[in-house]
Amino acid sequence: MHAVAPGPAGEGSPVAAVAPAAAAAAMPEPALRELAARHGLAFGTAVDMAALASDPVYREWVASQFDSVTAENAMKWDVLEPTRGRYEWGPADELVAFAKANRQAVRGHTLVWHNQNPAWLADVPVAELGAVLKAHVQTTVRRFKGDVGQWDVVNEAVEADGTLRDTAWLRALGPGYIADAFRWAHEADPDALLFYNDYDVEDVNAKSDGVHDLVRRLVREGVPIHGVGVQGHCSVDQAPRTLRENLGRFDALGLRTAVTEVDVRMAVPPDPVKLEAQADVYRTVLRACLLTPGCRSFTVWGYTDRYSWVPGWFEGEGAADILDEHFVAKPALRALRDGLSFGGTSRRD
Ligand code: XIL
């Protein structure tokens, strides 16, 4: 489900007016992915499958600028298994094929969450929920073994105060469901990198303290967890000032880190001051990642305001992406490119 009705790409629309060749000519060079590679960093975007199918300009940007893709919705449980026992792999397979054709990594998102689960799950007896979750995790991870190199295994399981979120999984299975999910995923694909992923954990705060405690315990217990994803949904009014310090403490646990879903929203309409403030936030987030040795992947949650989830979810806010709704670059794109454009790197393995 997409909360935003994308603008009609019909006659007279600025998007429709851009021929693919002209759009390709407007692609920045070197590509973001090439600039990022100099730092040993994968540069990703979330992908909206409907836009990918219908909008050649959208597709061209994804193909040329990014070397990592995340399904914005296509690998969530409600899309994969709308009817119990009947998996529908179509959209997820399309993304994997697109990624292969464009030499891109795929971040799998997400296996265990309290949102976007199929409706039938509510009718599953509590006693069966553990087996059902295990089957979902393993069926999905096995299906994409070799194609999806890293998974957000558990998404958003911690509350703002750092305690475990009160979800159907916690109530039915107890706190051990998190470790179990990682073990199940690892059994299904021992080569995949497995992440815990959450929002509002950019800064050092009560919530990121809770995530830190959780993953430290998992590491200590030998649970196969390899990284922590910081989503990075930010606002121009709240730059994450302690992100570098926060990523550093996960790095110190021997875990990878990833910035998995960056966007920087603002009250609409945008103006030059807000757009510069936005560029600063993007730059700050990128810099924190570049300064953290184990932060090897930086993903924006969509790259054009034309298909952003933000206006549908945050009343009165939008303009959160690095291109505007007509695929025109904003100061934020320049900031990211500048942030990647200096010399070589000591981050190579
Ligand atoms: C969002 C998608 O962007 C929307 O299209 C969908 O309607 C709701 O979910 N944190 C996450 C993502 O981990 O999966 C969410 O994606 C955004 C917040």
Q: Which atom of ligand 1 is closest in space to residue 4's alpha carbon? A: 5
pLDDT in the model for residue 342: 79
Predicted local confidence at residue 299, as pLDDT: 99
Tell me which of 117, 152, 309 to substitute to probe ligand 1's pocket, judged by most ligand atoms within 8 Å of the beta carbon.
309
DSSP-derived secondary structure for 144-196? TTTT--EEEEEES-B-TTSSBP--HHHHHH-TTHHHHHHHHHHHH-TTSEEEE
Token pair belonging to 289: 């990642």
Tens place of pLDDT per residue across the chain (349 aa): 333 333 333 333 444 444 454 554 478 999 999 999 999 999 999 999 999 999 999 999 999 999 999 999 999 999 999 999 999 999 999 999 999 999 999 999 999 999 999 999 999 999 999 999 999 999 999 999 999 999 999 999 999 999 999 999 999 999 999 999 999 999 999 999 999 999 999 999 999 999 999 999 999 999 999 999 999 999 999 899 999 999 999 999 999 999 999 999 999 999 999 999 999 999 999 999 999 999 999 999 999 999 999 999 999 999 999 999 999 999 999 999 999 997 666 675 6
d(CA 302, CA 319): 11
Ligand 1 centroid to residue 301 C-alpha, Å? 8
Residue to substitute in 4, 47, 72 for testing ligand 1 pocket (most ligand atoms within 8 angstroms of CB): 72
Q: Tell how far the Cα of 22 is from the centroid of ligand 1, in angstroms.
A: 31
**Pair 269, 319: CB distance under 8 Å:** yes
Centre of ligand 1 to C-alpha 2, Å, is 9
In this structure, is residue 7 part of a structural domain? no
Q: Are 287 and 297 in contact (CB under 8 A)?
A: no
Active-site residue list: 156, 261
CB atoms within 10 A of CB 21: 9
Please report whether residue 207 resides in a domain.
yes
Report yes or no on 11 lying in a domain. no
Closest ligand 1 atom to the C-alpha of 152?
Answer: 13
Residue 313 lies in a domain: yes
Smallest CA separation from ligand 1 atom 13, residue: 155
- What pLDDT does residue 2 have? 38
> How many angstroms does the Cα of residue 1 sit away from the middle of ligand 1?
10
In this structure, what are the phi and psi dihedrals at residue 246, rounded to the nearest 5 degrees? -65, -45
Task: Quote the ligand 1 centre to 193 CA distance (angstroms).
Answer: 21
Atom of ligand 1 nearest to the CA of 260: 13
Do the domain assignments include residue 6? Answer: no
Taking CA atoms only, the protein residue closest to ligand 1 atom 15 is 72
Cα gap 307→147, rounded to integer Å: 26
CB 80 within 8 A of CB 44: no
| Residue partners of 307: CB distance under 8 A and separation at least 6 | 2, 4, 6, 48, 51, 58
Per-residue pLDDT, 349: 60
Instruction: Yes or no: say if 109 and 153 are a contact pair by the CB < 8 Å rule.
Output: no
Tokens 């094929």 correspond to: 97
Domain range for 199: 25-341
* Shortest-distance atom of ligand 1 to CA 109: 14
Exposure of 100 by Cβ count < 10 A (0-12 exposed, 13-18 middle, 19+ buried)?
exposed
Which residues surround ligand 1 with Cβ inside 6 Å? Answer: 1-3, 72-73, 155, 199, 231, 261, 309
Task: Say how many Å lie between the CA of residue 312 and the centre of ligand 1.
Answer: 11
**157/112 Cα distance (integer angstroms):** 9
User: Max alpha carbon distance in the chain (Å)?
Assistant: 59
- Residue 5 maps to a domain: no
| DSSP 8-state assignment for residue 305 | G
Mutation to probe ligand 1, out of 4, 48, 73, 233 (largest number of atoms < 8 A from CB): 73
Which DSSP state fits 62? H
Query: What is the total count of domains within the chain?
Result: 1
Report the b/e string of 258-289 with b at 16+ CB within 10 A: bbbbbbbbbbbebeeebbebbbbbbbbbbebb
> What's residue 26's pLDDT?
77
Spatial CA neighbour of 208 closest among 261, 168, 245: 245
Q: Would you say residue 192 lies in a domain?
A: yes
Length of the chain: 349
Closest C-alpha among 303, 214, 299, 207 to residue 262: 299
Mutate to test the pocket of ligand 1, among 113, 313, 314, 321 (most ligand atoms within 8 A of CB): 313
Query: Could you tell me if 285 and 231 are in contact, meaning their C-beta atoms sit under 8 angstroms apart?
Result: no
The token duo for 185 is 């995923």
Instruction: Give the CATH number of the domain where residue 51 resides.
Output: 3.20.20.80
Q: Are 30 and 341 in contact (CB under 8 A)?
A: no
Specify the pLDDT at position 346.
66
Amino acid identity, position 69: V
Q: Which atom of ligand 1 is nearest to the CA of 312?
A: 7
Ligand 1 centroid–CA 73 distance in Å is 7
In a domain, 17, yes or no: no
Tokens of 117: 């689960």
